[in-house]
């Protein structure tokens, strides 16, 4: 028996559990299973599942992106942008069982390290459901101008584009597309 949640790489067979978690955590921001499947296929190193005693209780989906507007919600990317210069946290969702356990801190810190090692100078995300204070604890700051872009509107009127610079001195290598 595992005494705390553990992150592991997401697998294609995890997608039904991801969809169940997404429906509970983000009911106002539905996305098709094809969106999660494509992001996992395009960048598997950015897709993780949180499990506790063999039960999925959270996920993170992330990928390289560009510093402009975010991808529209519930849209396919088809490919990662060749000019990727930032690491985009598409979605972090935790069920109540995964909250307050340090799981969010663990995966966000892991993705910051991953992004630095990939040579990215920043991370970006769209904060929804009043999550700005949560992301501020990780050093993200609001960039309202990008949140107002056409694609940003698909996340809702109160959504905010947030960015966090990454220390370039800690970067150890180039971006490897997987």
Under 8 Å CB-to-CB from 137, ≥6 apart: which residues?
none
Is there a domain that residue 36 lies in? yes
> What backbone phi and psi angles, to 5 degrees, belong to 38?
-65, -45
What Rg do the C-alpha atoms of the chain give, in angstroms?
Answer: 15
Q: Which alpha helices (DSSP H) does 31-176 contain, by range? A: 33-42, 103-117, 132-136, 144-147, 150-153
Entry pTM: 0.88
- Residues of the chain under the 70 pLDDT cut: 1-2, 144-153, 168-178
Number of domains in the chain: 1
The verdict on residue 178 lying in a domain is: no
Q: What's the confidence (pLDDT) of residue 171? A: 42
Three-state SS for 113?
helix
48 part of a folded domain: yes
Which CATH number characterizes residue 63's domain?
A: 3.40.630.30
Q: Domain span at residue 37?
A: 6-170
In this structure, is residue 176 part of a structural domain? no
């Amino acid at each position: 028996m595992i005494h705390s949640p553990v992150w592991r790489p997401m697998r294609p067979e995890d997608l039904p559990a991801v969809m169940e978690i997404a429906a509970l955590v983000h009911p106002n921001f539905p996305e098709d299973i094809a969106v999660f499947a494509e992001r996992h296929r395009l960048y598997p190193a950015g897709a993780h599942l949180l499990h506790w005693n063999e039960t999925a209780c959270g996920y993170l989906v992330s990928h390289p992106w560009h510093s402009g507007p975010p991808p529209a919600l519930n849209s396919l990317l088809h490919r990662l942008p060749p000019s990727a210069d930032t690491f985009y946290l598409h979605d972090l969702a935790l069920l109540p069982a995964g909250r307050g356990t340090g799981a969010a801190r663990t995966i966000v810190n892991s993705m910051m390290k991953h992004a630095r090692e990939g040579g990215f100078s920043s991370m970006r995300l769209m904060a929804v459901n009043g999550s700005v204070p949560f992301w501020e604890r990780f050093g993200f700051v609001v960039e309202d101008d990008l949140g107002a872009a056409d694609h940003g509107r698909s996340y809702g009127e109160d959504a905010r584009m947030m960015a966090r610079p990454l220390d370039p001195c800690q970067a150890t290598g180039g971006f490897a597309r997987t």
